[in-house]
Amino acid sequence: MRIVVTGATGHLGRLVVEGLLDKVPADRIVAVVRDRQKAALLAARGVGLHIADYNAPETFDGLFAAGDRVLLISGSEADKDRVAQHRVVIDAASAAGAALLAYTSAPGSLTAALADDHRGTEQVLLASGLPYVLLRNNWYHEVYTAQLAPVLEHGAVVQAAGAGRVATASRADYAAAAVAVLTGEGHERRTYELGGDTAWSFAEYAAELSRQTGKEIVYRPVSTEEYTAVLVGAGLPEFIAAIFAGVDVSIEKGELAGTEGDLARLIGRPTTPIADAIRAALEG
């Protein structure tokens, strides 16, 4: 049995491969990447490489074999037809007789436009007949902690989420869950709603930043339109800014506040607290 990971040099994919290397021999892992150079360190550790692109279906020819376990990490090109991209992988895995395909999806409660491609991909996967696992990942800590520079500069956390709460977890947590599914048994045809053990508000986030930095950081809730304009002003394309603003609307509605505990159960430990993620980002 081989384990095939798409998007293996991305933030999440690299962590998954690292986790797999602690569990299985390197020669049982295949990293699917677009750029061979970016995967040089993985290849040096004995991981197999396959060069492929979601936008080029022929590059997946001959990749999968009967019995493979596959992790399909969702594409990051929001301006592309991501359902069509994902269908390429699902069809190739199905034709080869893969034993399992796990997909990194979005929470089932999410109604924001971000969820549309994920719901469409889930439908394609379920219709394929492949044994599947839906890994419905909530938002990542790093979505926020990677953007601390402007927050600290202006002394304000600016979001359009009102008093809503979000149960984030770290990328490492979500990667560990994927590793548990890919190397474990009994996960076929399961849907996991994955998120942090504790949901937090942006007022609490700002307070934690204040505590750790010794600076006064406030939470400034704004309208969806104002937040979109802020993101566009920071350099994001308007359609990407609208997607992020839409997620904030969902957070305000409580759609990302669920703490079902699936993630902690899969990884066998508590999820990483947001305070720890803030500390790591400040130290980094």
- Same domain? 7 vs 104: yes
In the sheet that holds 132-137, the strands lie side by side as 48-51, 29-33, 3-5, 69-72, 100-105, 132-137, 190-194
pLDDT of the residue at 51:
97
Please write the tens of the pLDDT for every residue from 125-174. Answer: 999 999 999 999 999 999 999 999 999 999 999 999 999 999 999 999 99
Please write the tens of the pLDDT for every residue from 233-261. Answer: 989 999 999 999 999 999 999 999 999 99
- Same domain? 279 vs 145: yes
Would 178 be classed as within a structural domain? no
CATH of the domain at 92: 3.40.50.720
Would 187 be classed as within a structural domain? no
Which residues, other chains included, contact 32 with Cβ-Cβ below 8 Å and sequence gap of 6+? Answer: 4, 5, 6, 7, 8, 50, 52, 63
Judged against a pLDDT cut of 80, whether residue 212 lies above it is answered with: yes
Would 15 be classed as within a structural domain? yes
Would 175 be classed as within a structural domain? no
- Same domain? 111 vs 201: no
- Same domain? 54 vs 95: yes
Q: Could you tell me if 230 and 140 are in contact, meaning their C-beta atoms sit under 8 angstroms apart?
A: no
- Same domain? 154 vs 69: no
Please write the tens of the pLDDT for every residue from 169-183. Answer: 999 999 999 999 999
Token digits for 60? 């997946």
Show which of 113, 137, 161 is a domain's final residue: 137
- Same domain? 110 vs 56: yes
Would 124 be classed as within a structural domain? yes
CATH of the domain at 143: 3.90.25.10
Please write the tens of the pLDDT for every residue from 77-121. Answer: 877 799 999 999 999 999 999 999 999 999 999 999 999 999 999
Would 237 be classed as within a structural domain? yes
Overall domain count for the chain: 2
pLDDT of the residue at 253:
98
Would 249 be classed as within a structural domain? yes
Mean pLDDT rounded to a whole number for the chain: 96
- Same domain? 154 vs 241: yes
- Same domain? 146 vs 224: yes
Q: State which residues form the domain around 21.
A: 3-137
Distances (CA, A) of 15 to 32, 73, 85, 211: 14, 12, 22, 29
Would 165 be classed as within a structural domain? yes
Show which of 137, 153, 178 is a domain's final residue: 137
Token digits for 273? 């607290």
Percent of the residues in the chain that have a pLDDT greater than 70, as a whole number: 100
Distance CA 164, CA 178 (A): 28
Show which of 137, 157, 181 is a domain's final residue: 137
- Same domain? 71 vs 127: yes
Burial 163-199 (b: 16+ CB within 10 A, else e): ebbbbbbbbbbbbbbbbbbbbeeebeeeebbbbbbbb
- Same domain? 101 vs 132: yes
- Same domain? 20 vs 62: yes
- Same domain? 45 vs 119: yes
